[in-house]
Amino acid sequence: MNQKRVFLAINLPEELKEKIYSTFSEKLPEKELKKVEKENLHVTLLFIGYVPENYVKELKEKLQSLSSAERFDASLKGIGCFGNRVLWLGVDKNAERIVELNKRACELLGIRDERFNPHVTLARNKRMPYVKFAKLADKLKEIKFEEIFPVESVDIMESILLRAGPVYKKLAELKLT
């Protein structure tokens, strides 16, 4: 039985991905960090994990009621990090509405996700020492970046892990009202 590595995402408009990438990419040292490719920038709503290929349709049906949520605008602002591992751009305006979507998805799927924090991952630490990583995060915090984006759907995504890095593919879309 074929398995798919699946997660729920709020995908960002192309022009916003472009702006994030052009603002931060060159400031992230490639030898020590694994940058997220421009086309892979998104807000993860919920990581589900490996599921049988034929489960995707059922997954969409289970999550269908998320579509009753209203569309809204959110904003990206503020750099943060998860320990010494992940460097991210935070969701500022309407973060609580994204948290609510996460909670509803968890309830519908019977998954626990207590540490959810809406963000866009910019890079993962491969080998940068902690002090240098913290200094880089502080330096990036000086950049004034705030962009509003529309939250119009929750997408069921597949993450295909390749040697060069993951490739994300949209499997289904749940449009918000």
* pLDDT tens per residue, range 44-86: 999 999 999 999 999 999 999 999 999 999 999 999 999 999 9
pLDDT given at position 113: 87
What are the structural domains of the chain? 3-175 (3.90.1140.10)
Residues 6+ apart with CB under 8 A from 147: 16, 19, 20, 75, 76, 77
What residues are annotated to the active site?
42, 119
Q: How far is CA 65 from CA 12, 51, 112, 118, 154, in A?
A: 22, 20, 18, 21, 11
Averaged over 107-120, what is the pLDDT? Answer: 94
Strand partners, 157: 7, 170
d(CA 41, CA 130): 24
Place of tokens 């909670």: 103
pTM here? 0.94
Longest pairwise C-alpha distance within the chain:
49
Q: Quick check: 36 pLDDT over 80?
A: yes
42 and 18 Cβ atoms separated by less than 8 Å: no
Q: DSSP string covering 100-148, please?
A: HHHHHHHHHHT---TT---EEEEEEESS--HHHHHHHHHHHHTS--EEE
pLDDT given at position 114: 85
Q: What is the pLDDT of residues 141-167, one digit of tens each?
A: 999 999 999 999 999 999 999 988 899
